[in-house]
């Protein structure tokens, strides 16, 4: 008997139908959905469809299961929560393969999709900046100015814009709620607070205007006769 069938024999207390349905749903999720760490499976290199099974790479490269199993589990994509693995110190990405690279740091969140039908997207620069340099995305994928780039789900699904990474190495595009995570009212309220903070901030004094006057040369005192 499988785990899904077991819940049919659970005796529930006498509760209103709405609460009963909620209890049943919770039990179904608890029994029917295993932990993502329990059953993660990766195809071996010889059978992943990307490499020649008779080639040297199959013997030299590390198998995906050996590399990925110790990392934080996920239930989508390549089954690793990469950001969590980074924060927990399970991985330490190199900035460059050849020489030390000092990247620009930017940690401001940006709210996107303010006028769409889906919840608003919160794009966290800080997380992406842990992996990428600003030049990886700007300006060939996205302009730095707010609203200068028209972000399109059609292009993303074609492997452009966000789809360059998401669906390839980052979590796949089927995980809609990971990006579309902010209620529209909350996003608009957050933007209003930002604008109010900017308006209340003191305006820096302008730099002094340049003058056309040349500084006078110091006078040299002549020797008396």
Residue-wise pLDDT for 99-155, tens only, equals: 777 778 899 999 999 888 899 999 999 999 888 889 999 999 999 988 899 999 999
pLDDT at 177: 95
In the chain the first and final C-alpha atoms are separated, in Å, by 122
Q: Of 91, 64, 86, which Cα lies nearest the Cα of 77?
A: 64
Question: Which residues of the chain fall below pLDDT 70?
Answer: 1-38, 212-225
Q: Which residue has tokens 């990886």?
A: 136
Q: What is the pLDDT of residue 217?
A: 63
Considering the domain architecture, whether residues 3 and 58 belong to the same structural domain is answered as no
Its domain, for residue 72, covers 39-92
Q: Is residue 8 part of a domain?
A: yes
pTM for the full predicted model: 0.66
- The pLDDT of residue 140 is 93
How many whole angstroms separate alpha carbon 112 and alpha carbon 180? 9
Q: Is residue 138 part of a domain?
A: yes
- 110 plus 179 within the same structural domain: yes
- Report how far residue 223's alpha carbon sits from residue 221's, in angstroms, rounded to the nearest whole number: 7
Do 162 and 121 share a domain, yes or no?
yes
Specify the pLDDT at position 12: 42
Overall number of domains in the chain: 3
Q: Is the dihedral of CA 157, 163, 169, 172 positive or negative?
A: negative
């Amino acid at each position: 008997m499988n785990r899904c069938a077991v819940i049919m024999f659970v005796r529930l207390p006498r509760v209103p139908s709405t609460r009963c349905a909620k209890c049943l749903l919770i039990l179904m999720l608890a029994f029917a959905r295993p932990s993502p760490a329990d059953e993660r499976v990766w195809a071996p290199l010889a059978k992943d469809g990307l490499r020649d099974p008779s080639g040297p790479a199959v013997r030299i490269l590390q198998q995906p299961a050996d590399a990925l199993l110790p990392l934080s589990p996920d239930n989508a994509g390549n089954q690793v929560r990469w950001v969590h693995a980074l924060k927990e110190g399970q991985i330490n990405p190199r900035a460059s393969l050849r020489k030390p690279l000092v990247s620009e740091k930017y940690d401001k969140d940006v709210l996107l999709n303010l006028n769409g039908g889906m919840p608003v997207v919160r794009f966290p620069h800080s997380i992406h900046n842990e992996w990428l340099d600003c030049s990886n995305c700007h300006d060939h994928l996205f302009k730095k100015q707010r609203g200068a780039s028209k972000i399109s789900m059609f292009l993303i699904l074609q492997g452009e814009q966000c789809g360059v990474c998401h669906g390839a190495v980052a979590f796949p595009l089927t995980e809609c709620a990971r990006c579309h995570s902010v209620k529209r009212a909350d996003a608009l309220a957050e933007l209003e607070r930002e604008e109010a903070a900017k308006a209340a901030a003191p305006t820096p004094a302008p730099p002094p205007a340049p003058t056309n006057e040349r500084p006078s040369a110091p006078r040299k005192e002549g020797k008396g006769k």
